Amino acid sequence: MPSALATRENKLGLGVDPFWSPLAMVTTQDMVLRNYFRERIVLGVHHLPMAGPVLLAPTHRARWDGLMLTMAAGRRVTRRDCRFMVTLTEMKGLQGWFLERLGCFPVDQLRPSLTTLRFAIDLMVDGQQLVVFPEGRINRTQKPIRLKQGLARLAQLAYRKGVNVQVVPVGLGYSEAIPNPFGKSAICFEEPMKVQGLGREASMIFNSELAERMKCAEQSALKAVGRMQKAI
């Protein structure tokens, strides 16, 4: 009998395509990333859980972030895919067609549907690796990290379902604010966190700690590429 996740994937037409996914891995990791950046640095890989449900919480600094994440935490490293929760606009046109076949799924940031939330919970119940950018959009400024409530609430929903999800703070850094060809890129994983309670106050406390750990991870990534962030 198919699992709840398999049933929902079939119903929504989502899932990782067995043809396009390996092809995309070779194209993006062995060709695009390797030829665009002269150096790709991965820090803290020992913090990546190799089993059980995981929520990766990365900073969002460039369109390259998704490729860096799949290189550092994807199938070649963890033996499982990165399932990205992306915005509705990113799932349109040819890009959307391609992302859909790589296991990405859309969310309305203003009004997330129950279907989307249930699908995300099913992924975690199934012990998969989910990627959510908690800032909500690309931020190239040096302003303090400000997180939306979506990831924390998602982790709390999983907690309520008895899913012991590990949330991994992730920082990304590039040698230039807008990455240039032949520059350096780095990604850093911090020690996983776990939800300790439910409700708005618990969510705010969790988000505050998560933002601080994401900042630490980003500082490490920036230091690795020779570009320290100025204090605000």
- CATH code for the domain in which residue 19 is found: 3.40.1130.10
pLDDT in tens, 92-112: 776 677 777 777 877 776 676
pLDDT surpassing 80 at residue 16: no
pLDDT surpassing 70 at residue 177: yes
Q: Which of 53, 36, 73, 179 is nearest to 121 (CA)?
A: 53
Does any domain span residue 196? yes
pLDDT surpassing 50 at residue 1: no
What's the number of domains the chain is made of? 1
pLDDT confidence bin for 28, thresholds 50/70/90 = confident
Angle, vertex CA 65, rays to CA 61 and CA 69, nearest 5: 140
The domain of 49 spans 4-224
pLDDT confidence bin for 20, thresholds 50/70/90 = confident
Does any domain span residue 231? no
Does any domain span residue 139? yes
Does any domain span residue 230? no
Does any domain span residue 229? no
Does any domain span residue 39? yes
